[in-house]
Structure 1
Amino acid sequence: MRIPTASSRLCVAVMAATLFIAACDRERPAPAQPQPPAATTPPPAPVAVELKDVIEQDPRFIVGISYPPGISKYPGLAEAMRAYSDKARATLDQALAKTDPAKQVGPYDLTLTFTLLADTSELVAVSAGGAVFTGGAHGEPLVARFVWLPTQNRLLTASALVPDPKGWVAISDYVREQLHAELSQRIDSDELPPAERAELMRTSGKMIDAGTKPSAEAFAMFEPVLAPEGGKLVGLKFVFPPYQVGPYVDGERMVEVPTSVLRPHLSPEFAPMFVDAPAPMPAEAAAAPAKPAGAP
């Protein structure tokens, strides 16, 4: 009998190890091959929305709703406008359903007018104004603003425009200063007794401060202030419906905030839409008649 030498035993061990590794390789799953990216489905095209003026009259109600001509070419914007008018109509219909026709005094009324404020390559702005009257001393005011971004197919919101809450502190301070100054001028023009003037300044001032808290919600309604040329914005006009910064009799209030105040707080995405307002022409230059061509 031949006794294996040390070298032969080493060869057998190596062969056994090789066979074991090969068996493991056969059992190991093959590495996953990179797959081509799945085809992305393009977003669905906006559903066309046709807005038509509404004129309805009944012994119990009168409805008048008007839209800017051609606004349906922006389906997303048109849908937002229709949703707003539908909500106003629902308010009227609910009041009619709850009111006994025999006890209703006079017809209820819904008046709503949408007006095109701006239409540029960068944005489209529409205002909504009117009221729903369902009895009482006066109707419920309807005040809204829609600023549409055609290239992005979405509404521009205050929170997207100024994303940092600190920005609203600066904007609020500016707006409050303007509203308080306007309030003081109006009260002074009424020549009220000192005690009555002080009380009116106090109560109206509290409404201004409460309605202009530094938040995107308080400044949710705004409209663009366009430069004379180029379609850029030189500021925003913030809109406050009745009751927000004053009593109902004060009506809708607006404060224009220039680019110089807005710029430090604007989102980088929207900052390029704004420019500084052109410097006003000196009064003497504006009053001087233009010289004819060739005149010395």
Structure 2
Amino acid sequence: MTTVLRLSAVALCLLAAACSKKEEKDKPAAPVADTPLIFEQKTADAEVNLTFPEAMKTFPYVHAQAYTAGKENLEIFIAQSARDRAALIAEGSNPPPYLRTIKWTVSGQSDRLFSAYSELTNYTDGAHSNMIYHAELWDKKTTNPVGHQHLFVNGSGTDLSSADTFLCHQIEAERSHRNENPTTQAEGGFTCPKLFDSHFVLLPSTVKGKIGGLLVLFAPYDVGPYAEGPYQIRIPQAVIRAVINPAYAADFAGDPVAVTTDPAG
């Protein structure tokens, strides 16, 4: 597999638009044309698909940048798939067409904050597909992206040990539930992740207009074997309230809304 097809590179491509936006901090958002909710293309070598929920239209500045970055990512994937498959066919192989999909989901929001995440699924003739998450957090008043560390009182220097412990216990509880057997990270050969090193978005609250907590996103292999699937772990805002940045403290209240779907299917 070439470098451009590596999943680690995908995250950088998806982040490109947000990084560019950060450099324009505090500039008014330019008018955004109506952005499509779907981009799809199919060739003899690859099939790609980019989708957004209708709710994304409410935030055109986020939608437009995510669409542009996603479309570019998929067009690069199609071109590289053609080159890679041609090389394999020349060697006598008969690889199936490759596949890449990017699906965006709007998560929680408050009067001040908005968040969404994408699931990128990638198949390039292996035993199974691979998937990664990418999370975005935006300030609705400034229309600027917010670095996740800025949610907390001391930025990346904030002590999140209590949240990290809670996160690990919740992962082990969910893994034990799926495995129908007590499971710990240490015994299973996996480590307990740190919140700062993880992808997370906001959860809607039982209090209207507020944030009820964080949804921490783990792709297969991140915290357990591939067969266990992805994990979406909920951290109630009460667990992190003491370390929330005062600028955003008023946005957090209540409890996370009830779970409606299981990410593992």
> Does the 8 Å CA contact 2:46/2:99 hold for their aligned counterparts?
yes
TM-score (norm 2): 0.72
- Percent identical pairs in the alignment equals 20
Residue number in structure 1 paired with 2:35: 51
Question: Aligned-residue CA RMSD in angstroms?
Answer: 3.0
Q: How do 1:67-82 and structure 2 match up within 5 A?
A: 67-69=52-54, 71-72=56-57, 73-82=59-68
> Does the 8 Å CA contact 2:99/2:123 hold for their aligned counterparts?
yes
CA drift of 1:153 comes to 1.0
Cα distance in 1 for residues equivalent to 2:32 and 2:157: 36
> Does the 8 Å CA contact 1:237/1:257 hold for their aligned counterparts?
yes
Q: How do 1:36-115 and structure 2 match up within 5 A?
A: 43=27, 45-46=29-30, 48=32, 50-52=34-36, 53-69=38-54, 71-72=56-57, 73-100=59-86, 102=89, 103-115=93-105
> Does the 8 Å CA contact 2:120/2:132 hold for their aligned counterparts?
yes
Residue number in structure 1 paired with 2:138: 148
CA drift of 1:176 comes to 0.7
Residue number in structure 1 paired with 2:168: 176
> Does the 8 Å CA contact 1:118/1:126 hold for their aligned counterparts?
yes
Cα distance in 1 for residues equivalent to 2:101 and 2:156: 37
* Secondary structure at 1:207 match in 2: coil
| Stretches of structure 1 lacking an aligned partner (at least 5 in a row) | 1-41, 191-196, 281-296
> Does the 8 Å CA contact 1:161/1:266 hold for their aligned counterparts?
yes
> Does the 8 Å CA contact 1:85/1:112 hold for their aligned counterparts?
no
Q: How do 1:117-266 and structure 2 match up within 5 A?
A: 117-118=107-108, 120-162=110-152, 163-187=155-179, 189=180, 202-204=186-188, 206-209=189-192, 212-213=193-194, 216=196, 218-219=197-198, 221-266=199-244
* Bigger RCO (CA 8 Å, 6+ sep): 2
Cα distance in 2 for residues equivalent to 1:222 and 1:160: 13
For 1:82, the aligned partner's letter is: T
> Does the 8 Å CA contact 1:77/1:155 hold for their aligned counterparts?
no
TM-score (norm 1): 0.65
For 2:54, the aligned partner's letter is: P
Cα distance in 1 for residues equivalent to 2:162 and 2:109: 29
Cα distance in 2 for residues equivalent to 1:85 and 1:273: 33
Larger radius of gyration: 1
